[in-house]
Structure 1
């Protein structure tokens, strides 16, 4: 294993990575490490955009533009779609899509280790939601597109309000619901990758 990391280290150094960046690389999950290895010249820009997407979605969460729900709601959908749209602008569609898939593979590993993402343990329905919204985000721009960040924010938000993305079905209290509107008891979700949560269009009105 040490020899593998040595080879990767030499590869990244020759590709323009510093030793400090290599330390960050070592902290990544294996799916993201492989993504970086195959996209060494795009990794720095991808990291910048990932941080940007988190900052922008955190700001959106403080407004009434969307539903303020960052874990399965519209703000969650926004974060993924905006992330993919910005990535496609800067590094292209194939690299953006594979990074999104690497992130979801990482989430499965987090589930197995019972680690939290956005305050909850990841599950299959959350991953399906993220991948769906990633794909929509990729359709909202193209590489080299000059759409401003502000313009892109509104483009993503409008797509969500028109129901073009997916969110996890909840009631006004934020409790998860089944397809037939039955409340899902939190205890029944503990430790399960597959459960009876469901996806609905992103303009779904909570009751």
Structure 2
């Protein structure tokens, strides 16, 4: 049994293109579980994840969307494009389960009082991500030959037609309730549940 586990770990390391097993053990529990369940897909998943971040960062610097990578349209793009590309190359089930593992990881990050991309994770952000993940999965099929540029256009179009969700903010970037009241930053500290509001992306 121990030998089989070592072989599995070797496959995981090769999949991630890493020779140092310590790199695996720094992953969160949900991420480790996903890798162990999908050892042959882990390398592609890592490549696609880095690709989605790189493309999102590039779009954030343009005027295609709102430039908001934390709760805004760029955030929605990152998740939807990530899921679409994972679906295209790995299949819907593996893609969806990786997205759910990431959200479980965010809850762990919250419990440890850490930040995700410079912002404290919370329930509304997780709901937003899961919604946008599902919309991304709908935009393509496994094995589709649509080029990345075409997929980028599909995701942006879905955002502009209101199929994605974003968190309601004012023009200064302050979070708002569904009634339009400004939420004081101190009201958000250390709270998984809060009064932030999800709205359509258009």
Shorter-normalised TM range: over 0.9
Whether the 8 Å contact between 1:13 and 1:19 is mirrored in structure 2 is no
Tell me how far 1:170 sits from its aligned partner: 0.4
| 2:79 is the alignment partner of 1:99 | no
Distance 1:119 1:19, change over 3 A: closer
Whether the 8 Å contact between 1:89 and 1:145 is mirrored in structure 2 is yes
Whether the 8 Å contact between 2:91 and 2:142 is mirrored in structure 1 is yes
> 3-state SS of the aligned residue for 1:200?
strand
| 2:8 is the alignment partner of 1:11 | yes
Matches within 5 A, 1:82-121: 82-121=81-120
- d(CA) in 2 for partners of 1:37, 1:58: 29
Root-mean-square deviation (CA), in Å? Answer: 1.8
> 3-state SS of the aligned residue for 2:145?
coil
Runs of at least 4 residues of structure 1 off by over 6 A?
none
Distance 1:151 1:173, change over 3 A: same
Structure-2 residue corresponding to 1:78: 77
- Bigger mean CA offset, 12-21 vs 36-45: 12-21
Whether the 8 Å contact between 2:41 and 2:90 is mirrored in structure 1 is yes
Distance 1:139 1:21, change over 3 A: farther
| 2:37 is the alignment partner of 1:38 | yes
Structure-1 residue corresponding to 2:193: 194
Structure-1 residue corresponding to 2:121: 122
Tell me how far 1:21 sits from its aligned partner: 5.5
Structure-2 residue corresponding to 1:68: 67
Give unpaired runs (5+ residues) of structure 1: none
- d(CA) in 2 for partners of 1:113, 1:20: 29
Give unpaired runs (5+ residues) of structure 2: none
Whether the 8 Å contact between 1:8 and 1:37 is mirrored in structure 2 is no
- d(CA) in 1 for partners of 2:162, 2:116: 24
CA deviations on 1:38-92 (whole Å, 9 max, x unpaired) are 0000000000000000000000000000000000000000000000000001100
- d(CA) in 2 for partners of 1:184, 1:112: 22
CA deviations on 1:12-31 (whole Å, 9 max, x unpaired) are 22567266263321111000
Whether the 8 Å contact between 1:62 and 1:68 is mirrored in structure 2 is yes
Distance 1:130 1:8, change over 3 A: farther
Structure-1 residue corresponding to 2:174: 175
- d(CA) in 2 for partners of 1:134, 1:109: 19
| 2:58 is the alignment partner of 1:29 | no
